[in-house]
Structure 1
Amino acid sequence: MPSCGYICLKERDPAQAPRNSRQTGQKRKFYMLYIEGMTLEMKKLKQEYTFLDELPEGRKFRYKCRDYTTTITVDSGGLVLEYPDVFCRRY
C-alpha cells in the first residue's frame, strides 16, 4: 500500500462547536489535501464527520469521503484510535 498524507485546507470556524461540546448527529465538513506518497500527486477532497456517541473508549464518528463511509473512534485529543479494516492503535 503506498504511503499518503492529508493536510487540512480549512481552519476551524470559531462559530462551530468546540471539539468537546458535540451533539449526536452534528456534522462537520472539511476540505483536505490528499498527497499520494509514491507520485506526490495532490487532490482536494471533501471529508465529512458526523458525531455518533461519546463512550469510555473514545468518541465515535461516521467518516465519509467520496463514496466511502466508515465509523472511526478518536481519543480526547482527536487522534484516531480505531479505523476499521485499516488500523487500531495499541498502547
Structure 2
Amino acid sequence: MRELRWASQEGDGIEHLAFEAREDGFQVESVVVGQRYGKSYGLHYEVRCDTQWRTRYARLKIVGAGELELHGDGDGHWRDGHGLMLSAIEGCIDIDIAATPFTNTLPIRRLQLAQGERRPLQVAYISTPDLQVTRVEQAYSCIELGREYRYEGIFRNFTANMKVDEDGLVLDYPTLFTRLPRER
C-alpha cells in the first residue's frame, strides 16, 4: 500500500490517499479537506477498480451532508446504492471526482494510450461538494509514455498536461493540484 498527498492550488485544500494494488484490482481510500465555490467541505471517498482499471464501486461522503454510492459493471452500466439504474451515465466507464487528481489515473491506466495517441471519452463527473453526477466529454492524450498526459475537459474548455508516477498517479496537475513531497 502506498500513501500520498496532494495540495490544492485553487485555495485551501489537502488530500491524503491510500492506494493499494490487489490481485483482483485496485482500491483507494481518501480524505479531502477543501474549498470549492467559496464553500469549505470535507470529503471521504473510496474507489475500487478491476484489473483493467474499470471503476466497479465508488462511495463518497461529504462530512455532515450528502452521500453517494455508485456500482458499475465495468461495461458502462451503473446503479446507485439502492440498486436503481443510472441512465444519465449509461456507457461511462470512468468517474471523475472534481475534488481529486486521483480519478485522472483511471482513464490514463485503462486506455493504455500509445505515445501521441488521443482518445475522447464520456465520463461520469461528480461535482463537489454537492455530489451531483453528470455525463461529460473529456479526452486524454499521451505526451510521453508513462510520464506525461494531456487532459482535456471538453465540457468546460480546460486543458492541462499532467506528469504522473510509475503507477499513473498524478505528480503535478498545473493550476489545480501538486503532489506533496512526503510519500510513505
The TM-score bracket by the shorter chain reads: 0.5 to 0.7
Q: Hey, what's the Cα distance between the residues in 1 that align with 2:111 and 2:158?
A: 26
Residues 60-79 of structure 1: pairs in structure 2 closer than 5 A: 60-66=148-154, 67-79=157-169
Q: Hey, what's the Cα distance between the residues in 2 that align with 1:46 and 1:25?
A: 20
Q: Hey, what's the Cα distance between the residues in 2 that align with 1:61 and 1:18?
A: 12
Which residue, out of 147, 156, 166, partners 1:59? 147
Which amino acid letter does the alignment assign opposite residue 71 of structure 1? N
Q: Hey, what's the Cα distance between the residues in 2 that align with 1:28 and 1:59?
A: 17
Deviations 1:32-84 (A, max 9, x none): 21122232222111221111114xxx611111012111111111211111100
Question: Is 1:39 equivalent to 2:122 in the alignment?
Answer: no
Normalised by the length of structure 1, the TM-score is 0.67
Normalised by the length of structure 2, the TM-score is 0.37
Which amino acid letter does the alignment assign opposite residue 75 of structure 1? D
Q: Hey, what's the Cα distance between the residues in 1 that align with 2:111 and 2:164?
A: 15
Partner of 2:99: none
Secondary structure at 2:147's aligned position in 1? strand
Question: Is 1:10 equivalent to 2:93 in the alignment?
Answer: yes
Cα RMSD (Å) of the superposition? 3.0
For these two proteins, the number of residue pairs brought into alignment is 81
Listed as ranges, the gaps of 5+ residues in structure 1 are: none
Q: Hey, what's the Cα distance between the residues in 2 that align with 1:18 and 1:48?
A: 11
Query: Which structure: larger Rg?
Result: 2
Question: Is 1:48 equivalent to 2:144 in the alignment?
Answer: no
Deviations 1:1-22 (A, max 9, x none): 33689x863279xxxx973xx5
